Amino acid sequence: MSVVRRKIREFGMPRIIIIAFILLILVGALLEGQDMATLISDSLVRVGQNMLMALAMLPTILVGAGLNMGIAIGIVSGILGGLISVELGLVGWGGLMFGILLAICAGTVGGFIYSLLLNRVRGSEMLIGNYLGSTVVYLMCMFWFAAPFKNPTIIWPMGGKGVRTTIPVSDFFEKVLNRFLMFKIGRVTIPTGLFLFVFLVCFLVYLFTKSRTGMILRTVGNNPSYAAMSGIHINKARIIGITLSTVLAAIGINVYAQSYGFYQTYEGPLTMAFTPMAAILLGGATMKNVKIRHAVIGTFLIQTLLTTALPVCNQLFPESNLSEVFRIIISNGIILYALTQAGGDRR
Amino acid sequence: MKNTAATPVLSICNVGKAFGENWVLSDVSLDIMPGEIHAICGENGAGKSTLMNILFGMPVIQSTGGYTGKILIDGEEQKITSPEQAIAKGIGMVHQEFMLVPGFTVGENIKLNREPLLSSLASRIFGSRLKKVDFAKISSESQHTLNRLGVEMQESSMIETLPVGYMQFAEIAREIDKENTKVLILDEPTAVLTESEAELVLNIVQHLSDMGIAVVLITHRIQDIKQVADTVTVLRDGKNVRTVAVKDISEGEIAQLMVGRDLDLTAIEKRSGELSGEIALTTKNLVVDMPGEQVNGVDLEIRKGEIFGIGGLAGQGKVGIANGLMGNYPTEGEISVFGKPLKLNSPKDSIAAKLAFVSEDRRRMGFAPNLSIGENIAAPSMVAHNRFFKKFGFFEQVDEKAVRETAEKNIQEFQIKCTGPDQPVGTLSGGNQQKVCVASALELSPDILLVSEPTRGIDVGAKNTVLNTISQINREKGVTVIFTSSELAELRQMCDRIAIVSQGKIVEIMKPDASDEEFGLAMSGERREA
């Protein structure tokens, strides 16, 4: 009995609650006669395309800077990289990989500057990060407005200037990853390539956490005074962690866009910080302890929930705006719940 | 014991407590009479804190399933489920970490949440919630309480400006000010105090007993028990080993009961043979800007292979020296290690010069609380010497096996009480944390080991292990040790030479066999006539 109890405790109540909720929704979907295969396929895609964003939260927690509220900085860097690739008219794997490469470059620069700023506001990184994220998004609005892109897919069809609010990648590298080695179990589609890529990145990050640098980052996050005494350059370690987080977000938005089919510019990146934050917290991360599995489990739970809840709600209230209202309540409610778990078990 | 015939003010009957499957306290019984000073001692992890948490109804007990057994107050059984309840039943507690509002005056702290109130116009109309605080009454009543305690202290002084010892007095005064306080629990009241402050606290404890208040004194310091307590209860591994009148037991016997094995603090072997004349470390005009422990120009010459003691009163700068050598605080002057000049203000360079440091501030600087024992022991070596890694081409990966093996070896050697190498160091008891700190410093295989206050706040058993290891490493591997401590007995026992620091300067370098008077004189800053 005690073994079972301990296992449950280790797994954690928040996850059990969310799983129960997902099951409830799935039962609801079954009763409504929803197309279960589609629901599951959609969920899998959503999980894959969002996972790297949640993973991007890990390095900042690791160095003790809390959740990366300024993840929008990484996202706009990523979009910039991807759009340049589109502008050059690169297609397929080449297009996506070139976009990701540029995203990494842009993310490194952006993340480096961001980390220099966060090093000056130690202790309130999350607050400052939040405002900085918004600031950068709006600054970039001006950039999108005046950016010298020429490709007709990117710029407004009328006027011929400025970036559109959504840029479709269907002619370039839509679903390149998703379709790679894609197969079907019954009517459920498995986006193999997407998961392969995402797990590869997870594995690389895992290797990183187990490297010398990773150890240093963890020590800094855990006890900065102790780390300094051990001869660790704290600010340098924090620069590495925050930059890595930004770069991961930059890669993540490209993975997201190829699967989703669009880049969203202007205010699009603004709201994207909260779901991955909620995901890693739901996965079991605390500000003191974070592991890659927290990001993976959390993304699975929250994205499955969000994906399945919407059609079920739609069916429940077919003729009103109520379903939309419910969707917002559910998704924000979950984020709120996850944030209350941020401190871990603090009774 | 003043009043043997009366009913005990507090009886603990067969109390036990388990965290999960782990019984940290079992079948503990004791009776405490009014006015009795009852000392409870035991090693770290013996169950002292758990017992106190039960008595004071701390939430940690309730949230983990409560306790077994009975607690009687004035002969009536009580279930205490919250601190408020404990206070209402007349139990007061002074915690090890002070629970005071720094920006309030002593008086305001004493009366906190029990402020005397005055009615005003608003309160007559809108009810008692709008009554005014009667500051005049706070002053007079709290000053009265302070006087009753026999402390020279103004109720109007701000807490944050007080020395640590006086904060302790304020805490005690607050508990005494509650009229119904019958039992006062003091958790390690002298642990962070200087000798003279500790003396004052013990006097107050005596005074409380004369006022008829029973005092439960939790302490590591056997001399405190001998000095004031009437009865002593020794806990070991969660069990009551023995409750005995203090006059019937010697200090040695108490220590022996605590650790449950023969204890020999003088087992450190004397140095055989002479030291070579080689100089390991010199400083010239060392100035360290460490808050509260300022060092103002120290010249040292430390020989290879010796244990060099640094002693002195708190706040005089003795711990600043080691911190300056390690580059932890802004430092000026010249340091050379084995003839080579050392770059100042850089912990990295100090470690590269084969210095290793065990900090006096264990909680803040000593370890990373959420990392495991293994990672803590290995981390400094990883950073400084690139050890504990496997190479894969460009990649380096932590060699988990090597980390684990090293941790297991050290757990054995130091007898670290833990569930395994993966246990986070933050969850260990103080003594075991200190063992990890020493182990991790030794893992750096230093030429010069700097240890500061290595036995502060840890129990006799751990103390012995730590001191023995330090002397062993010195005797066998020839590691030079700079040993900073505020305990004179310890310094004399360990060191070849002892420098006494006062006002940031070295007053005198003495032999360990100098008399107490000579040491006392040096600590007070007076240089002996040459």
- Is A177 domain-assigned? yes
The pLDDT value given to residue B269:
63
- Is A284 domain-assigned? no
Contact at 8 Å (CB) between B198 and B109?
no
- Is A282 domain-assigned? no
* Stated pTM of the model: 0.76
Mean pLDDT of the region B32-54: 84
Sorted by where each starts, the structural domains of chain B and their CATH numbers stand as 1-82+217-263 (3.40.50.300), 279-523 (3.40.50.300)
Least confident stretch, A107-121, B307-321, B322-336: B307-321
**pLDDT tier for residue B65 given thresholds of 50, 70 and 90:** confident
- Is A261 domain-assigned? yes
- Cα–Cα distance measured from residue A309 to residue A18, given in angstroms and rounded to the nearest whole number: 12
Q: Tell me the residues of chain A between 80 and 139 that have a Cβ less than 8 Å away from chain B.
A: none
Nearest chain B Cα distance for residue A231, angstroms: 4
| Mutation to test the B interface, candidates A206, A219, A287, most B Cβ within 10 Å | A219
Q: A232 in contact with B at a CB cutoff of 8 Å?
A: yes
- Is A323 domain-assigned? no
> What region, left, alpha or beta, does residue B35 occupy, with left being phi > 0 and alpha being psi -120 to 50 degrees?
left
The sheet carrying B295-303 orders its strands as: B295-303, B279-288, B331-337, B340-341
| pLDDT tens by residue, B129-173 | 888 888 888 899 899 888 888 778 888 888 888 877 788 888 888
Contact at 8 Å (CB) between B23 and B238?
yes
DSSP for residue B268: S
- Cα–Cα distance measured from residue A46 to residue A58, given in angstroms and rounded to the nearest whole number: 20
Mean pLDDT of the region A123-143: 91
The pLDDT value given to residue B530:
40
CA dihedral sign of residues A56, A61, A62, A63 = positive
| pLDDT tens by residue, B256-269 | 777 665 445 555 66
- Interchain pair B396, A211: CB under 8 A: yes
User: From the list B346, B384, B397, which residue is nearest A211 (CB)?
Assistant: B397
Encoded tokens for A338? 């996850």
Please state the φ and ψ torsions of residue A178, each to the nearest 5 degrees: -55, -35
B interface with A, Cβ–Cβ < 8 A, is: 20-21, 59, 63, 326, 328, 346-352, 357, 359, 364-371, 375, 379-380, 382-384, 386, 389, 395-398, 400
- Cα–Cα distance measured from residue B381 to residue A107, given in angstroms and rounded to the nearest whole number: 32
User: From the list B359, B371, B400, which residue is nearest A219 (CB)?
Assistant: B371
Encoded tokens for A66? 């809390």
- Interchain pair A212, B386: CB under 8 A: yes
List chain A residues with CB under 8 Å of B367: 223, 226
3-state secondary structure of B155: coil
Encoded tokens for B508? 């005198």
Range of the domain at A153: 37-270
Nearest chain B Cα distance for residue A65, angstroms: 16
| pLDDT tens by residue, B346-360 | 999 999 999 999 998
Contact at 8 Å (CB) between B209 and B3?
no
The pLDDT value given to residue B284:
93
Q: Annotate B427-479 with three-state secondary structure.
A: HCCHHHHHHHHHHHHHHCCCCEEEEECCCCCCCHHHHHHHHHHHHHHHHHHCC
Quick one: B280 exposed, middle or buried, by C-beta within 10 A (0-12, 13-18, 19+)? buried
**pLDDT tier for residue A318 given thresholds of 50, 70 and 90:** confident
Nearest chain A Cα distance for residue B400, angstroms: 9
Contact at 8 Å (CB) between B461 and B390?
no
Mean pLDDT of the region A132-140: 94
Contact at 8 Å (CB) between B230 and B8?
no
- Is A42 domain-assigned? yes
**pLDDT tier for residue A54 given thresholds of 50, 70 and 90:** very high
Encoded tokens for B175? 């508990």
| Count of beta carbons in the 10 Å neighbourhood of residue A10 | 8
| Count of beta carbons in the 10 Å neighbourhood of residue B131 | 17
List chain B residues with CB under 8 Å of A232: 348, 383
What angle, 0 to 180 degrees and rounded to 10, lies between the N-to-C axes of helices A71-87 and A125-146? 20
User: From the list B21, B365, B382, which residue is nearest A225 (CB)?
Assistant: B365
Residue B42 contacts by C-beta under 8 Å, 6 or more apart in sequence?
A: B48, B234, B235, B236, B258, B459
Mean pLDDT of the region A147-162: 86
The pLDDT value given to residue B529:
45
- Is A266 domain-assigned? yes
- Interchain pair B368, A222: CB under 8 A: yes
- Cα–Cα distance measured from residue A296 to residue A51, given in angstroms and rounded to the nearest whole number: 7
Mean pLDDT of the residues in chain B = 85
DSSP codes joined into one string, A99-144: HHHHHHHHHHHHHHHHHHHHHHTTT-HHHHHHHHHHHHHHHHHHHH
Contact at 8 Å (CB) between B365 and A226?
yes
Please state the φ and ψ torsions of residue B299, each to the nearest 5 degrees: -110, 125
- Interchain pair A219, B384: CB under 8 A: no
Instruction: Decide if pLDDT at B1 tops 50.
Output: no
- Is A175 domain-assigned? yes
- ipTM at complex level: 0.82
Q: A222 in contact with B at a CB cutoff of 8 Å?
A: yes
Nearest chain B Cα distance for residue A197, angstroms: 20
| Mutation to test the B interface, candidates A4, A215, A235, most B Cβ within 10 Å | A215
Total tally of structural domains belonging to chain A: 1
Mean pLDDT of the region A42-47: 94
Give alpha helix (H) positions in B267-366: 318-326, 347-352
List chain B residues with CB under 8 Å of A289: 370
| pLDDT tens by residue, B185-225 | 998 887 777 777 788 888 888 888 888 889 999 887 778 88
| Mutation to test the B interface, candidates A8, A229, A290, most B Cβ within 10 Å | A229
Closest-CA residue in chain B for A228? B347
- Cα–Cα distance measured from residue B168 to residue B173, given in angstroms and rounded to the nearest whole number: 9
User: From the list B357, B366, B397, which residue is nearest A210 (CB)?
Assistant: B397
The pLDDT value given to residue B20:
65
- Interchain pair A230, B328: CB under 8 A: no
- Interchain pair B21, A2: CB under 8 A: yes
- Interchain pair A230, B370: CB under 8 A: no
Contact at 8 Å (CB) between A59 and A248?
yes
Task: Look at B339 and B458; give whichever has higher pLDDT.
Answer: B339
Closest-CA residue in chain A for B426? A222
- Cα–Cα distance measured from residue B225 to residue B222, given in angstroms and rounded to the nearest whole number: 5
Nearest chain A Cα distance for residue B303, angstroms: 25
- Determine the straight-line distance between the first and last CA of chain B, rounded to whole angstroms: 51
Q: Which of B314, B308, B264 is nearest to B293 (CA)?
A: B314
Encoded tokens for A74? 């990484």
DSSP for residue B277: S
Nearest chain B Cα distance for residue A212, angstroms: 7
